[in-house]
Amino acid sequence: MALRQSKLLAGSGFNQSILQRNISSSQTLFDKHECKVLVVGGGAGGCAMAAKLSSRLGRNKVIVLDPADKHYYQPMFTLIGGGMKRLEHSYKTMEEVLPKKAKWLRDSAVEFNPDSNTVKTSSGDSIKYDMLLIATGLQLNYNKIPGLEAALAIPNGKVCSIYSPKYVDRVYDCLRNIEGGNAIFTFPSSPVKCPGAPQKILYIAEHYFRKMSKRNQINVTYNTALPVLFGVKHYADALWPIVKKRNITVNTRRNLIEVKPEQDIAIFENLDKPSEHFEEKYSMLHAVPPMSAPDALTRCKQLVNEAGFVDVDKSTMQHTKYKNIFAIGDSAGSPNSKTAASAAAQSPVVYRNMIAALNGKPLSDVYDGYASCPLVTGYNSVILAEFDYDLKPLETFPIAQNKERYSMFIMKKDFMPLLYWKLMLTGYWNGPALMRNMLSVFKFNKQ
Ligand code: UQ1
């Protein structure tokens, strides 16, 4: 609104600098921007790629489109839920993290027009690009579960969620407040970012209850829409004995469909027999929302696959139809697990392939589907799962990573945030492939 007003003032000659700005763009109410590369989304993937691309292409050749004022380090949210970190440790301002050589437009994409190489923003501006990188991430659809938003709005309530900065502080409150009864943890029937996270908070909570000597009064249940505990057998085989030993009830194919906050009841459906519903009374409910690519993206049918994610070649990350469009991170339709580590491993591939495409050269770089998930299993242990498109372990360290380890917990808690802020967002971290190759000389040691 303020922007629109100042444009009108400029038209009547009040403000010299705004006048110049308008002349340099257009004489209409809406700006027309042009750039070599447009990056939609300034999250982990978008920010890292903007750093790489703007350093190569020079000042103001790259535009980053993102309406947010804060950039959250989301892998910290499970630790915040467990009271190990604070929300204010998890973010920096967008201005601090976006590369100085790129131009930041604080606005959101509402319309993708890949046939005319333009993106329209919510304030009516249009951006014309030579190359487009889609890095929007996922949209959290808490509203898709009746009663859930109402339950999450109750002050000091029993329902919480690590997935949003709006709700993450409620998680530790719930852990502290529960005295007895059912603590229920969910995993939805949709693609999710960091599919290990719903389980990490389960293990942290269970450990917390033991530490506070209230575990005997609390039944701990994990209701997952998936048919498995974890998609990679090597790690699922390590996790099943942990849930058994810790007396956690795991129900697979069980999907949260409604919350009744007045009665503290959660309703689940059996995905193998949808007419079968279960009403479960909770003393605490950790809800993971269904997720999708953002609406602006899914509305553009030419860009997305059947699941609504950007239809890219899984090796090159280039759009299957539009050769000047690439995707990185959670909005990409490549069939990898959606984690920050995946975006890190995709970044050198996307970068080199985008530069090749800009120069009219064939694409030569290939993403192997690498994803990693530090499965936090309590207040001092992590199983570091790392795997590729074939769901085969692709591990960095010359130790058995399917065991709970304190060293990996320290890496997750103290080392990863530093690596993220200092190396990933600045475009220097390309995932652990180089480290893995160097450490592979010690692999004879591995059980
Ligand atoms: C990683 O690259 C990454 O992205 C920056 C994470 O997210 C924060 C991770 O959690 C992990 C484990 C990796 C992989 C890095 C190593 C050193 C194995």
Torsion over CA: 425, 428, 433, 435 (sign): negative
Catalytic residue among 35, 47, 160, 194: 194
Question: From ligand 1's centre to the CA of 13, what distance in Å?
Answer: 52
Placement of tokens 């131009």 in the chain: 103
Question: From ligand 1's centre to the CA of 75, what distance in Å?
Answer: 10
Atom of ligand 1 nearest to the CA of 73: 8
* Closest C-alpha to ligand 1, atom 17: 432
Would the CB of 283 count as within 6 Å of ligand 1? Answer: no
Please tell me the predicted confidence (pLDDT) of residue 442: 86
Ligand 1 mutation pick, 336, 375, 410, 419, max ligand atoms within 8 A of CB: 419
Would the CB of 382 count as within 6 Å of ligand 1? Answer: no
Catalytic residue among 35, 47, 174, 373: 373
Question: From ligand 1's centre to the CA of 111, what distance in Å?
Answer: 33
Would the CB of 424 count as within 6 Å of ligand 1? Answer: yes
Residues present in the chain in total: 447
Mapping DSSP onto H, E and C, the string for 218-273 reads EEEEEEECCCCCCCCHHHHHHHHHHHHHCCCEEECCEEEEEEECCCCEEEEEECCE
Query: CB–CB of 134/331 below 8 Å?
Result: yes
Question: From ligand 1's centre to the CA of 416, what distance in Å?
Answer: 6
47 is a catalytic site residue? no
What digits encode the pLDDT tens for the residues 171-226? 999 999 999 999 999 999 999 999 999 999 999 999 999 999 999 999 999 999 99
Alpha-carbon distances, residue 266 vs 14, 64, 179 (angstroms): 59, 40, 19
Across-strand partners of 204? none
Alpha-carbon distances, residue 286 vs 20, 158, 173, 203, 282 (angstroms): 52, 9, 12, 12, 10
Query: CB–CB of 180/218 below 8 Å?
Result: yes
Placement of tokens 């006048």 in the chain: 19
Ligand 1 mutation pick, 367, 399, 416, max ligand atoms within 8 A of CB: 416
**Phi, psi of 87, rounded to the nearest 5 degrees:** -55, -35
The C-alpha atoms of residue 230 and residue 436 are separated, in whole angstroms, by: 23
Query: CB–CB of 210/226 below 8 Å?
Result: no
Angle, vertex CA 299, rays to CA 294 and CA 302, nearest 5? 115
The C-alpha atoms of residue 137 and residue 314 are separated, in whole angstroms, by: 17
Please tell me the predicted confidence (pLDDT) of residue 30: 86
For domain 32-139+293-358, give the fold: FAD/NAD(P)-binding domain (3.50.50)
Nearest to 396 by CA among 385, 381, 380, 405: 385
Say if residue 402 is exposed, middle or buried (CB neighbours under 10 Å; 0-12, 13-18, 19+): buried
Which amino acid would we find at residue 373?
Answer: C
Residue ranges, comma separated, of all CATH 3.50.50.60 domains in the chain are 32-139+293-358, 140-291
* Closest C-alpha to ligand 1, atom 11: 341
The C-alpha atoms of residue 316 and residue 350 are separated, in whole angstroms, by: 7
Placement of tokens 């010690």 in the chain: 442
> Token digits for 211?
């530490």
Question: From ligand 1's centre to the CA of 344, what distance in Å?
Answer: 8
Question: From ligand 1's centre to the CA of 431, what distance in Å?
Answer: 7
Work out the end-to-end distance of the chain between its first and last CA atoms, rounded to an integer number of angstroms.
62
The C-alpha atoms of residue 262 and residue 151 are separated, in whole angstroms, by: 8
Question: From ligand 1's centre to the CA of 99, what distance in Å?
Answer: 21
Give 3-state DSSP helix, strand, coil % of the chain, rounded to 5.
35, 25, 40
Would the CB of 133 count as within 6 Å of ligand 1? Answer: no
This prediction's pTM: 0.92
> Token digits for 96?
């601090």
Q: What dihedral do alpha carbons 206, 208, 212, 214 form, nearest 10°?
A: -20
Domain at 140-291, CATH from 3.40.50.300, 3.40.50.620, 3.30.565.10, 3.50.50.60: 3.50.50.60
Atom of ligand 1 nearest to the CA of 345: 2
Atom of ligand 1 nearest to the CA of 423: 5
373 is a catalytic site residue? yes
Would the CB of 294 count as within 6 Å of ligand 1? Answer: no
**Phi, psi of 158, rounded to the nearest 5 degrees:** -100, 0
What digits encode the pLDDT tens for the residues 366-414? 999 999 999 999 999 999 999 999 999 999 999 999 999 999 999 999 9
Output the tens digit of pLDDT for each of the chain's 447 residues: 333 333 333 333 334 444 444 444 445 678 999 999 999 999 999 999 999 999 999 999 999 999 999 999 999 999 999 999 999 999 999 999 999 999 999 999 999 999 999 999 999 999 999 999 999 999 999 999 999 999 999 999 999 999 999 999 999 999 999 999 999 999 999 999 999 999 999 999 999 999 999 999 999 999 999 999 999 999 999 999 999 999 999 999 999 999 999 999 999 999 999 899 999 999 999 999 999 999 999 999 999 999 999 999 999 999 999 999 999 999 999 999 999 999 999 999 999 999 999 999 999 999 999 999 999 999 999 999 999 999 999 999 999 999 999 999 999 999 999 999 999 999 999 999 999 999 998 876 565
Angle, vertex CA 352, rays to CA 346 and CA 358, nearest 5? 125
* Closest C-alpha to ligand 1, atom 2: 341
Placement of tokens 């976006």 in the chain: 98
Please tell me the predicted confidence (pLDDT) of residue 443: 73
Question: From ligand 1's centre to the CA of 372, what distance in Å?
Answer: 7
Would the CB of 78 count as within 6 Å of ligand 1? Answer: no
Would the CB of 348 count as within 6 Å of ligand 1? Answer: no
Q: Which residues contact 379 (CB under 8 A, 6 or more apart)?
A: 82, 84, 204, 207, 208, 211
Would the CB of 54 count as within 6 Å of ligand 1? Answer: no
Please tell me the predicted confidence (pLDDT) of residue 5: 36
Query: CB–CB of 296/111 below 8 Å?
Result: yes
**Phi, psi of 125, rounded to the nearest 5 degrees:** -75, 160
